[in-house]
Amino acid sequence: MVKMTIAEALRQAIREEMRRDERVFCIGEDIGIEGGFGGAFTVTLGLSQEFGHERILDTPISETAIAGLAIGAAVAGMRPIADVQYGDFLFCMMDQLANQAAKLRYMSGGTLNVPMVMRAPVGATARGAQHAQSLEAFFTHIPGLKVVSPATAYDAKGLLKSAVRDDNPVLIFEHKLLYGSKGARSEKGALSPVGEVPEEEYLVPIGKGVVRRPGKDVTIVANLLMLYRALGAAETLSSQGVQVEVIDPRTLVPLDKELILGSVRKTGRLVIVEEDNLTNGWGAEIAAIVADEAFVWLDAPIKRVAAPDVPAPFAPVLEREYVPSEQKIIDAVLSIL
Amino acid sequence: MNSEIQPEISSSVLPDQELLINIFRTMFLIRRFEETTNELYMEGRIPSTLHLYIGQEAVATGVCANLRTGDYVLSTHRPHGHSLAKGVAPQAIMAELFGKATGCCKGKGGSMHVGDIQVGVLPAMAIVGANVPIAAGTALAAKMQKTGGVTVCFFGDGAANEGAWHEGLNAAAIWDLPVVFVCENNLYAASTPFSTSFKIQNVAERHSAYGMPGAVVDGNDVLAVYHVAKEAIERARTGTGPTLIECMTYRQCGHSRSDPRTYRTHEEEDEWKQRDPIPRFRKWLVEQGKAEAGRLDGVEQEVEQTIKAAIAFADASPAPDPGDVYRDVFKE
């Protein structure tokens, strides 16, 4: 095992896949410029030295083109890993993702594939409303896209490698406060979780969640930064005699429904935590699934903890109110005991 | 037409006789295919709207006559002509229009998404301008793979005011990608006249903004289109980069099947009918001694048989299984 940050794990995944398969290349803004950033959060730092600028391809500020180039290259036999600096910029390329990448295979009658990866940082980090959103839910609503949100270095590497080998468009949402990026690109208030990553090759399958902490009283489903807040809340609640089971879905499409249903059958209580705005988030979908398929196992209403239905604010005091806190998670759990 | 912005395009030798006759065959096939689908639509046998290519046949035909199987074509909401010209089987397109399981998209695409990747035609993209950056992407792949393959991206004049168009052209230009952008300027974006959407006279004037050659060509003169496209495609194939070609043409029908065309005059329509690319080319072939009228009659009869066979095939084909709706979303 080797200890590394998520940024390092993602970089290692890219390096291994590019060495393994010459069809794999990276495309995005500021990803390979000498003396540049290595992407907004250092993930591609140094890769152009090994692979050259033809395979670490710096683009103009043209998000629609980044997506279109990735789609076209993927249809024509390449394996692009595209990069947007902030997830919010995905809206600039929404037609390419929602109308093209997601639908080309289906509307061709399954005669072609779009094996592309789109990596996007999410999360509120004192940058105001346009560099802050958690966007996973938007993309779970579009059939034809896979949606992944790794919260540990182990998963980041294993899921990115699986995404590169997947024959479908895969969106990978990464949290800015979890990268552990160093130097000028380090984030204030970041958790920088350093994880253990095997030295030998491994993959994490897309579509499998994981139990991060076992418990018998309440199930919490949480991804990305919220996973860590949920684990913190579970620790606090444990000292009050409440045993919380924390599930990291890791992948939202396809969703590991059985893992969640199985946990709810055991605990009878469910809290879902997401950093996205409350209304129609992916948490709402999980709540609906559980209400539909595990209703008789529920001993209490399902609770959602999410950002309120307002844009992400700037001032630290406002942002702290906006992003779900450990205390809000604890309150939600206690309200259904 | 306007020759002032044809910096690197010059005319070249004529194609041989067989190619000339094939060009006639393809144009006539597209015309009769479209006229027939219109009739089938009126009879209620095609469950869709249609964006007919009638009047613009010389563009797809003249361009695609220069392409190889491994080259890519990206098309639009008006795609039947592009697909036919690049070699998608007429019966597979017809079956698709009928919504049959044997269609080129197994009944999942319909009129606006026909294509066949086996012959290099991506499913047509019916969001205006969206195919432009994707065409840069297939061209990028060809460059990285060193296949020598070329991508042709067709779009209408309306597409040139979409953001995706600008991003796609710029990316293609900065990396010298092997792609040819072919604007079919039929003077109207749906009902909106060209002059209300452009301060410039021609879309191709924008070539210099991206640092690529541009050309304006009579899009109803199939040989003119052929020659301009040939040069651009050779430029692309030899790694010299993209070209922007604007073909001046006219759709003889409405934008879609529900369009009464009250935004244009009968005089204008009549004027363009005089320039109909098919009789014009037929006359030229005969007058220049390239083909006897009887030979061309024979070609036309063959095309009629092809169309009949396509309808029979589509008619006899099974509808998709309702359960097919759940398939082909993801590759397993």
How far is residue A268's CA from residue A294's CA, in Å, rounded to a whole number? Answer: 9
What's residue B257's pLDDT? 78
In a domain, A205, yes or no: no
Question: CB distance A65–B330 less than 8 Å?
Answer: no
Question: CB distance A105–B327 less than 8 Å?
Answer: no
pLDDT at B8 over 80: no
The pTM (predicted TM-score) of the whole model is: 0.96
Amino acid at B257: R
Question: CB distance A64–B133 less than 8 Å?
Answer: yes
Strands A79-83 and A117-122: parallel
Q: Residue A305 sits in a domain of what CATH number? A: 3.40.50.920
Residue A91 near residue A64 (C-beta atoms within 8 A): no
> pLDDT digit string (tens) for B191-246?
999 999 999 999 999 999 999 999 999 999 999 999 999 999 999 999 999 999 99
> pLDDT digit string (tens) for A279-308?
999 999 999 999 999 999 999 999 999 999
Q: Residue A89 sits in a domain of what CATH number? A: 3.40.50.970
What mean pLDDT is predicted for residues A207-226? 98
Tokens 């196992």 locate to: A297
Question: CB distance A104–B140 less than 8 Å?
Answer: no
Q: Who among A64, A76, A113 is closest to B331 (CB)? A: A113
Burial class from Cβ neighbours inside 10 Å (0-12, 13-18, 19+) for residue B267 reads exposed
A276 and A235 part of one domain: yes
What mean pLDDT is predicted for residues A249-275? 98
Burial class from Cβ neighbours inside 10 Å (0-12, 13-18, 19+) for residue A104 reads buried
In a domain, A66, yes or no: yes
Q: Who among B104, B109, B168 is closest to A65 (CB)? A: B168
What's residue A188's pLDDT? 79
A139 and A36 part of one domain: yes
What mean pLDDT is predicted for residues B263-270? 93
Q: Which of A197, A220, A240 is the last residue of a domain?
A: A197
Using a CB-CB cut-off of 8 Å, the residues of chain B touching A144 are 329-330
What's residue B12's pLDDT? 53
pLDDT at B319 over 90: yes
Q: Compute the count of residue pairs across chains A and B with CB atoms less than 8 Å apart.
A: 144
pLDDT at B135 over 80: yes
Q: Who among A64, A95, A168 is closest to B330 (CB)? A: A168
Q: Best interface-test mutation with A: which of B97, B105, B143, B144 has the largest number of A CBs within 10 A?
A: B144
A264 and A187 part of one domain: no
Residue B178 near residue B149 (C-beta atoms within 8 A): yes
> pLDDT digit string (tens) for A70-90?
999 999 999 999 999 999 999
Give the Å distances, CA to CA, from B231 to B9, B57, B172, B228, B243: 6, 20, 17, 5, 9
Please check whether residue A73 touches B, CB under 8 A.
yes
**Dihedral sign (CA A315, A321, A323, A327):** positive
The band of B13, judged by pLDDT with boundaries at 50, 70 and 90, is low
pLDDT at B3 over 60: no
Amino acid at B69: T
Residue B220 near residue B280 (C-beta atoms within 8 A): yes
In a domain, A204, yes or no: no
Domain containing residue A68: 2-197
The band of B313, judged by pLDDT with boundaries at 50, 70 and 90, is very high
Question: CB distance A96–B118 less than 8 Å?
Answer: no
Report chain A's mean pLDDT, rounded to a whole number: 96
What's residue B15's pLDDT? 85
pLDDT at A270 over 60: yes
Helical (H) or strand (E) element with A27: strand A24-28
Burial class from Cβ neighbours inside 10 Å (0-12, 13-18, 19+) for residue B35 reads middle
The CATH number of B17-316 is 3.40.50.970
Residue A219 near residue A227 (C-beta atoms within 8 A): no
A276 and A317 part of one domain: yes
Q: Best interface-test mutation with A: which of B140, B210, B321 has the largest number of A CBs within 10 A?
A: B140
The band of A264, judged by pLDDT with boundaries at 50, 70 and 90, is very high
Q: Which pair of tokens denotes residue A237?
A: 């609640």
In a domain, A291, yes or no: yes
Q: Who among B127, B137, B170 is closest to A95 (CB)? A: B127
State the DSSP code for B118: G
What's residue B203's pLDDT? 97
The band of A185, judged by pLDDT with boundaries at 50, 70 and 90, is confident
What mean pLDDT is predicted for residues A57-68? 98
Helical (H) or strand (E) element with A122: strand A117-122
pLDDT at B11 over 60: no
How far is residue A295's CA from residue B27's CA, in Å, rounded to a whole number? Answer: 63
Q: Which of A166, A197, A228 is the last residue of a domain?
A: A197
In a domain, A298, yes or no: yes
Question: CB distance B108–A107 less than 8 Å?
Answer: yes
ipTM: 0.96
Q: Which of A139, A166, A197 is the last residue of a domain?
A: A197
- Catalytic, A131? Answer yes
CA distance B285 to chain A (A): 38
What's residue B4's pLDDT? 39
What's phi and psi for B23, nearest 5 deg?
-65, -45
Q: Which pair of tokens denotes residue B289?
A: 């001694």
| Structural domain count, chain A | 2
Domain ranges for chain B = 17-316
The band of A187, judged by pLDDT with boundaries at 50, 70 and 90, is confident
Q: Where are the alpha helices (DSSP H) in B124-188?
A: 131-145, 163-174
Using a CB-CB cut-off of 8 Å, the residues of chain A touching B118 are 111
Strands A2-4 and A303-307: unpaired
